[in-house]
Amino acid sequence: MKEPLTSEEKQLLLLLGWFRRHYALYLGLSRERPATRKGILEFGRAWFGKRLPDLEPAFSGLQQKGLLRQKDEAFELTEAGSATFQRLDASETFYRYEYDNFFSLSEKSAAHALFCERVYGENLNQHGLADVQELRQLLAFVPIRNESSGLDLGCGNGRITAWLQRQTGARFLGVDISPEAIRRAHQASNPGLEFRVGNMNELSFSERFDFILSIDTLYYAASLKHTVEACLSHLRPGGAFACFFSQWISEEGEKPLLEGDNTALAQVFTGLGQPFEFQDISRQGHRHWRLKRDVLLEMRPAFEAEGSLALWHYRFREANRYAEWPEGHYARFIYRFRAK
Ligand SMILES: C[S@@+](CC[C@H](N)C(=O)[O-])C[C@H]1O[C@@H](n2cnc3c(N)ncnc32)[C@H](O)[C@@H]1O
């Protein structure tokens, strides 16, 4: 691609690239649904919220650049458009815009703070599954010494990182793809904490770490193997890589994936010839999704009263999808890897 893309064009490309993929499923839309201008805008608002810019100039811009074509009412990426989308989705990512929206809404919502308190035991503006009990379990499984330093990969707005810092006294670098999350993380001033915008698809640090934590973030890696390899290569000798990882399956034939030593993540460790250990926390995972859904149902009026219904919908459609997931089709683990 010779000509640079505008921010609007990038967002339109990312929306088109994801339109038919599983994100459409959350909204109850069919994969066959044509990508009309109205449909794309609806999809965009559901994920990027009010931050979605006026995409009108991007429709014509991408067509002029040969990345987009229109057939009747529907738009589709050209071959060059699909290739550009693939590159953009690894470098800038769809999630960056999704999480910019989430963190800009959630921090100022009193209803969301109460929701987090009820679901996670304390309001750390969580987005993943790990509640305070699971975080304590992590620290028991992977002890962190106060003179050590490490990385929190996918740290969001840093509230969980700051909590971990207070518990351990260690130094933490938090990294996240969302500039909005990191901007907010910077507001916490603590000499044991540092935050930077960074991408788990392109990890490269001059320093090495005593520990690297991934708290429900590896699902977003463009290549799980590539990101895990990058994490392991950034550990000091004796350092630990620890992650919370959930595995979903949709068909009976995939059941072996639910074994802790055979999940998509376990297979990556095994393929790299790296020994690992794990704890099974599947029951907690199941409970989490149902609790989240039930608390949200109860709290809908509180979100509505403060004008945060968009945030409620955003959280509810994920919670409901996984609360309804068949019981025998889900497993959750904490993994631990130690560098020699
Ligand atoms: C499910 S949330 C988990 C956040 C937090 N660790 C927690 O448990 O609440 C996933 C986080 O990963 C971040 N993320 C997504 N893709 C990323 C990427 N490619 N590189 C770095 N962070 C990413 C998101 O911005 C978001 O903050």
Domains in the chain (CATH in brackets) are 7-92 (1.10.10.10), 110-284+327-338 (3.40.50.150)
- How confident is the prediction for the chain on average, in pLDDT? 95
Determine which residue's CA is closest to atom 3 belonging to ligand 1. Answer: 128
Helix or strand (DSSP H, E) at 180: helix 179-185
Determine if ligand 1 sits within 6 Å of the CB of residue 160.
yes
Which protein residue has the closest C-alpha to ligand 1 atom 1? 128
Contact 265, 218 (CB under 8 A): yes
Q: What is the mean pLDDT of residues 197-226?
A: 97
Longest CA pairwise span in the chain (Å):
63
Position 91 pLDDT exceeds 70:
yes
| Structure confidence by residue, pLDDT tens digits, 67-85 | 999 999 999 999 999 999 9
Distance from the alpha carbon of residue 81 to the mean position of ligand 1, in angstroms? 26
At residue 2, the pLDDT reads 61
The Cα 98–Cα 83 span in angstroms is: 21
User: Which residue, judged by its Cα, is nearest atom 16 of ligand 1?
Assistant: 220
Report d(CA 126, CA 159) in Å as an integer: 8
Q: Is the pLDDT of residue 1 over 70?
A: no
Res. 24: pLDDT tops 80: no
| Nearest-atom index, ligand 1, CA of 155 | 6
Determine contact, residues 107/185, Cβ cutoff 8 Å: no
Cα–Cα dist 340/338, whole Å = 6
The whole-number pLDDT of residue 21 equals 79
Contact 65, 1 (CB under 8 A): yes
Structure tokens at 200: 């788990």
* 157 in contact with ligand 1, CB cutoff 6 A: no
Q: Which residues pair with 194 in a beta bridge?
A: 173
154 CA to middle of ligand 1, Å?
4
CA of 89 to the centre of ligand 1 (A): 15
Q: How far apart are CA 126 and CA 116, in angstroms?
A: 7
pLDDT band at 189 (very low <50, low <70, confident <90, very high): confident
* pLDDT of amino acid 316: 96
According to the model, what pLDDT value does residue 96 have?
97
Q: Which two tokens stand for residue 151?
A: 């990385």
pLDDT confidence band for 280 (50 / 70 / 90): very high
